[in-house]
A and B are shown apart, each in its own frame.
Chain A
Amino acid sequence: MFRTAVRTLRSHALHFAMSGLAVLLGVAFVVGSLIYTQSLEAAMAEARAASRPDLSVEVRHDFSPSSDSARLDEALLRRLAALPEVAAARGAAEGRSFLVGSDGTLVGSLVDAAGVNYVPGKGGTDPRYPLTAGRRPRGDGEIAVDAHSAERAGYRVGERVRIVVNGTARAVRLVGVFDARDERLAADGTLTAFDTATAQRQFANAPGTYTSISLTAAPGTSETRLAQRAQALLPPGLEAVTRARLDAEAVPGEKKLTMLLLSFAGVALFVSTFLIANTFTMLSAARAREHAILRAIGATRSYVTRLVLAEAVLVGVLASAAGYALGVGVAAVLNALFGATGDVPTPLRPFTAGPPLAALAVGVGVTALSAYIPARRGAAVPPVAALRAERPAAVHASHRRTVAGLVVTGLGAALTLVAMDAEDLFFAAVPVLLVGLIMVTSWLAERTARLLRSPLTRLAGVRGTLAVENARRNPRRTAATATALMIGLALVCVVTVIASSLSRTAERDAESSMLTDLRVVPVDFAEIGDDAAGRVAALPGAAAVTPLVDTSIRLTDDGFVSAVAVDPGAMARLALLDVRQGSLDGLAHGIAVSEQAAAAHGWSVGSRVTGTFVQADRKVDLPVVAVYSGPEALTPALISTASLPEASGAVGRPSVGSILIKAEPGRTARLQQDIRRTLANPALLVQNRDDVVKEAVRPFAPFLAIMYALLSVTVLIGALGVINTMSMAVFERVREIGVLRAVGLDRRGVRAVLRWEAAVISLLGAVLGLVAGTLVGAAVVAGHDGALLVMPWDRLALLFAATLAIGVLASTPPGRRAARIPVLRALRSDIE
């Protein structure tokens, strides 16, 4: 049977080419996603295993309420080290520390920019960080950094460099460069090493304490055993955690990425099923006679079905093999696309067992599944009917299917509406809606073509009539082709509407949240130093400056209230509040509450707010001095920064979220520059109103670009579908083309007829895609609380036009081939 299949494949190579190509692309997408994400996971796991090789158990804060007061100090370290199960114990004082490159920007991925303490062992070096140049850091003016970061930052030993710790930039001397195997480096981070005292002052809760203690098990002691023994020595608020649990806790963010990539690959594969089904339907029809002869001489129906399926499997195998090869390339592209932020490329491992198996399963599975129905339908043609000279008429839209399709479409639309209140439902609503549309499309194809007949005839003469009539001839095929385009455009429209709306929403929120001329905010993962507001306030031209410190108070009589700590004097000068009761004059020693908070808790001027600061576990007892209404950023309550608990170390300390600055009239631009120069901290953004808006919408363009890139595969397969359908049309209609040529249609005319037919198909797909995508996108946005719905009509129109253009362009290769057929051969041809 496979020999027959191979022969068929060879003689119809061109017809299988598009199906094969579509499967190939889908498989390549799947394989690329798997290889990339698995390589990423493997690289992270390896880095994790290699990093801190001597760590068996880590002792750390357990984040319980008593966690902050528990001390990881020298005494505890010595007691742990004395355990017989412990071979070595080391105290770590680690936190965030950014390295400013010689070009003034921050180096590497900020989430993994770590500051560590250098613990000299035998011979004065830390075994984790073997020095390759210079010496170990001593005192708070010296650091050592890992070799890769030093190279990227453009620094050499002996140079003065800038670092940012706890929100403040400072200059230090780079005295050493070391090698390190650390998971944070694998994730594109940086390691900055300080001497232990400096690191403790910067990162630990209290002087002389650590942020964690790592223990190395003595030979023959298991991690679990060691953890149990260590735990017994620990005061409440601390826990001993095994290496195995630490590794398990390192949440693989790649899982999410894998799912995202695979779902896009799935959509691409789904779209290719239409193409494959079209191809096998056409070939079954073309070979109906051949199959009928087989049946007539005694082959069973299932034999014919199997014969066709064997071809499908063969196409699937070939496409999978090629798709796997291309997938390795796709992985490299994804690596570049998603790893674009850092310059540490993940080494790709294309030769694990998973991806090739997935390729084969997906490629063969998708091809065989989509060929199954056409194969059965082909085999069902009774031998007598097929032996007749006429080709079997194309199947027209069945009434039942259309009605069912309308019902499903309605259901999908209803689900979409319901989903506006329950977002998770969208994942059910969108497929249902699409399936419904797919089912009604063949009916719509007939309708649309009928509607388009006269306008197109007026537009393109008899060429238009011929094109419309041809598109109507096989509504199922037209529908399947249009559907493939529809799905691509619909998804593109959904993400476009959502991204535009959210971008506009972010812009609005940014505008309304910008209360003053200027503000200072930290970049992600960074913070603002405690002294920053004071330094800004000292600048000439600064009329009023206040930090905003978010804090939370656990109330004595149950519940919480959030409070923003501000500079009371500056607050009064900024005049952002509408005081309804009392006055802000007493804010330095009191609390002001918003009207809503006052109503919710029954407060009025004179009542007392008592409780504890959540972050510091410190008592608070303040009189209400004012009730006000004001912008959201300054609600529900205000206190003075002076009321804040003393900083008790780095952990859990309420930190400055932003600094609001009012400039003297006409001094804004100048002041902005002065603030930048004074803070000299690339981890802080000094923004005016325009900058705030720009910063708020900045992430949306790259997000949309990545979405478009991922969806482009689907759109590409949709275009292949058009090429495929038009090629099949040419193949089936060679004789008609010959007649047209004989009675006076020139080559350009032949191309034009095919182009118009492709235009009708693409129009159907594009209209459906635009409508479905826009509606779903709008529903998603409408269901999103507080989001503005923005219809980017110009962009939607562009996408619509692009889909049409892609469809029409896709008819070019078959059109050219059709035009080249010699008239005489065409006239004589009989299919097969």
Chain B
Amino acid sequence: MPQTHHRTNAAPPCSVVAMAEDLTKVYGEGESRVVALAGVSARFLEGEFTAIMGPSGSGKSTFMHCLAGLDTPTSGTARIADTDLGPLDDARLTRLRRERVGFVFQAFNLLPTLTALENITLPSALAGRSPDPEWLRHLVETMGIADRLDHRPAQLSGGQQQRVACARALASRPAVVFADEPTGNLDSRSGAEVLSLLRSSARDLGQTIVMVTHDPVAAAYADRALFLADGRIVHEMPEPTAAGVLDLMKRFDGRTPTP
């Protein structure tokens, strides 16, 4: 993969770009009350690639949504860069997502009517800006989609679509990229490509990435893995390996069977 310029660990290592403090999220009331998050605190440093793991129902998606400003927590604080998301109204949250946050979804979620290039530049177009052409060129080359820019999503393979989605997430140089099961709809080879790209974005470009996954192989690409169960962080694993993660998950599964 051609890489034109390197920004290896360019940022100071202790700069916090996203954090959660005692986040709780409760759905429903009375009988049907469900506690999705029971007080989660975490910090995400610049250039760090974090995997959030956990069985389904553990609250990992809810955690990501609250942190990304897609959902509002019942209590606690979520911050992106220096901004507390709590007091923001819908319009400001939207602007924050547009400017400081990038998303990669399991279902790619490209707009079928726009070309690959238009999809990539969509967030900046929505903000009324044109993206830095140098940066854009670098991104599409890194993602290996330079010759696919005029294609519509329907004309691209799943892996290509997800790489376009990654480029879209990175294009506006957000503070954090949130990836929600980014390999869930991909075969293992395409999945590995996308994960390598995410990892190199963190390492070489200093991009902070938070990835929700239940796949130990995917988690192994991350710098660290946070384990959620029943709405709490139950373990943190630096430099995770597939075997280590798998081992740990088996232990959790034995102890707290998922409902």
Asked if A and B are interacting partners, one says yes
Tell which of A740, A743, A824 touches B65, judged by Cβ atoms closer than 8 Å.
Answer: A824
Inter-subunit contact A461/B95 (CB<8 Å): no
Is residue A741 within 8 Å, beta carbon to beta carbon, of the partner chain?
yes
- Contact flags A508-524 to B (C-beta < 8 A → 1, else 0): 00000000000000000
Inter-subunit contact B113/A744 (CB<8 Å): no
What is the minimal beta-carbon distance from A702 to any residue of chain B, in angstroms? 49
Q: Which of A713-733 contact B (CB under 8 A)?
A: none
- Contact flags B90-127 to A (C-beta < 8 A → 1, else 0): 11001101110001010101111110001001110111
Inter-subunit contact A744/B126 (CB<8 Å): yes
Is residue A739 within 8 Å, beta carbon to beta carbon, of the partner chain?
yes
Chain B residues with CB below 8 A from A746, complex form: 90-91, 94-95
Is residue A736 within 8 Å, beta carbon to beta carbon, of the partner chain?
yes
Inter-subunit contact A741/B94 (CB<8 Å): yes
Inter-subunit contact B70/A462 (CB<8 Å): no
Nearest B residue to A473, CB-CB = B113
Chain A residues with CB below 8 A from B94, complex form: 741, 744-747
Inter-subunit contact A466/B111 (CB<8 Å): yes
Q: Measured between alpha carbons, how far is A749 from B99 in the docked complex, in Å? A: 16
Inter-subunit contact A743/B126 (CB<8 Å): yes
Chain A residues with CB below 8 A from B122, complex form: 462, 740, 743
What is the minimal beta-carbon distance from A772 to any residue of chain B, in angstroms? 30
Is residue B71 within 8 Å, beta carbon to beta carbon, of the partner chain?
yes
Question: Number of residues in B with C-beta < 8 Å to the partner?
Answer: 28
Q: Measured between alpha carbons, how far is A744 from B99 in the docked complex, in Å? A: 8
Chain A residues with CB below 8 A from B65, complex form: 824
Chain A residues with CB below 8 A from B111, complex form: 466, 736, 739-740
Known: A462-B125, A743-B98. A469 touches B90 (CB 8 A): no
Tell which of B109, B125, B127, B128 touches A739, judged by Cβ atoms closer than 8 Å.
Answer: B109
Nearest A residue to B98, CB-CB = A744
Is residue B173 within 8 Å, beta carbon to beta carbon, of the partner chain?
no
Q: Measured between alpha carbons, how far is A735 from B123 in the docked complex, in Å? A: 17
- Contact flags A784-803 to B (C-beta < 8 A → 1, else 0): 00000000000000000000
Main secondary structure of the interface of A (DSSP, over half): helix
Is residue A451 within 8 Å, beta carbon to beta carbon, of the partner chain?
no
Is residue B168 within 8 Å, beta carbon to beta carbon, of the partner chain?
yes
Inter-subunit contact A743/B118 (CB<8 Å): no
What is the minimal beta-carbon distance from B182 to any residue of chain A, in angstroms? 14
- Contact flags A441-474 to B (C-beta < 8 A → 1, else 0): 0000000000000000000011101100110110
- Contact flags B65-93 to A (C-beta < 8 A → 1, else 0): 10000110000000000000000001100
Inter-subunit contact A827/B126 (CB<8 Å): no
Q: Measured between alpha carbons, how far is A746 from B121 in the docked complex, in Å? A: 16
- Contact flags B133-177 to A (C-beta < 8 A → 1, else 0): 000000000000000000000000000000000001000000000
Chain B residues with CB below 8 A from A827, complex form: 70, 105, 109
Chain A residues with CB below 8 A from B127, complex form: 744
Chain A residues with CB below 8 A from B95, complex form: 744, 746
Inter-subunit contact A742/B114 (CB<8 Å): no
- Contact flags A225-266 to B (C-beta < 8 A → 1, else 0): 000000000000000000000000000000000000000000
Q: Measured between alpha carbons, how far is A353 from B99 in the docked complex, in Å? A: 67
Is residue A775 within 8 Å, beta carbon to beta carbon, of the partner chain?
no
Q: Which of B33-67 contact A (CB under 8 A)?
A: 65
Inter-subunit contact B97/A824 (CB<8 Å): no
Nearest B residue to A462, CB-CB = B125
Q: Measured between alpha carbons, how far is A261 from B97 in the docked complex, in Å? A: 56
Q: Measured between alpha carbons, how far is A747 from B95 in the docked complex, in Å? A: 11
What is the minimal beta-carbon distance from B166 to any residue of chain A, in angstroms? 13
Inter-subunit contact B123/A744 (CB<8 Å): yes
Is residue A805 within 8 Å, beta carbon to beta carbon, of the partner chain?
no
Chain B residues with CB below 8 A from A743, complex form: 97-98, 103, 122-123, 126, 168
Chain B residues with CB below 8 A from A462, complex form: 118, 121-122, 125-126
Nearest B residue to A467, CB-CB = B113
Is residue A42 within 8 Å, beta carbon to beta carbon, of the partner chain?
no
Q: Measured between alpha carbons, how far is A461 from B126 in the docked complex, in Å? A: 8
Q: Which of A736-759 contact B (CB under 8 A)?
A: 736, 738-749
Is residue A823 within 8 Å, beta carbon to beta carbon, of the partner chain?
yes
Q: Measured between alpha carbons, how far is A461 from B113 in the docked complex, in Å? A: 15
Known: A465-B118, A824-B65. A745 touches B91 (CB 8 A): no
What is the minimal beta-carbon distance from A41 to any residue of chain B, in angstroms? 56
Q: Measured between alpha carbons, how far is A488 from B103 in the docked complex, in Å? A: 45
What is the minimal beta-carbon distance from B51 to any residue of chain A, in angstroms? 21
Inter-subunit contact B97/A744 (CB<8 Å): yes
Inter-subunit contact A742/B126 (CB<8 Å): no
Chain B residues with CB below 8 A from A741, complex form: 94
What is the minimal beta-carbon distance from A544 to any residue of chain B, in angstroms? 78
Chain A residues with CB below 8 A from B112, complex form: 736
Inter-subunit contact A745/B70 (CB<8 Å): no
Inter-subunit contact B70/A823 (CB<8 Å): yes
Inter-subunit contact A749/B118 (CB<8 Å): no
Nearest B residue to A750, CB-CB = B94
Known: A465-B118, A739-B111, A742-B103. A747 touches B168 (CB 8 A): no
Chain A residues with CB below 8 A from B107, complex form: 735
Tell which of A735, A738, A747 touches B90, judged by Cβ atoms closer than 8 Å.
Answer: A747
What is the minimal beta-carbon distance from B60 to any residue of chain A, in angstroms? 14
Chain B residues with CB below 8 A from A470, complex form: 113
What is the minimal beta-carbon distance from A730 to any residue of chain B, in angstroms? 15
Q: Measured between alpha carbons, how far is A463 from B114 in the docked complex, in Å? A: 11
Q: Measured between alpha carbons, how far is A482 from B114 in the docked complex, in Å? A: 23
What is the minimal beta-carbon distance from A619 to any residue of chain B, in angstroms? 88
What is the minimal beta-carbon distance from A751 to any residue of chain B, in angstroms? 13
Inter-subunit contact B113/A469 (CB<8 Å): yes
Chain A residues with CB below 8 A from B99, complex form: 744
Q: Measured between alpha carbons, how far is A472 from B103 in the docked complex, in Å? A: 27
Nearest A residue to B180, CB-CB = A827
B interface residue numbers (CB < 8 A to A): 65, 70-71, 90-91, 94-95, 97-99, 103, 105, 107, 109-114, 118, 121-123, 125-128, 168
* 15 residue pairs A–B, Cβ–Cβ below 8 Å: A461-B125, A465-B118, A466-B114, A469-B113, A469-B114, A736-B111, A742-B97, A742-B103, A743-B122, A744-B99, A744-B123, A745-B94, A746-B94, A747-B91, A747-B94
Given contacts A462-B121, A740-B126, A742-B103, 7 further A-B contacts (CB under 8 A): A461-B125, A461-B126, A472-B113, A739-B111, A744-B95, A744-B123, A746-B94
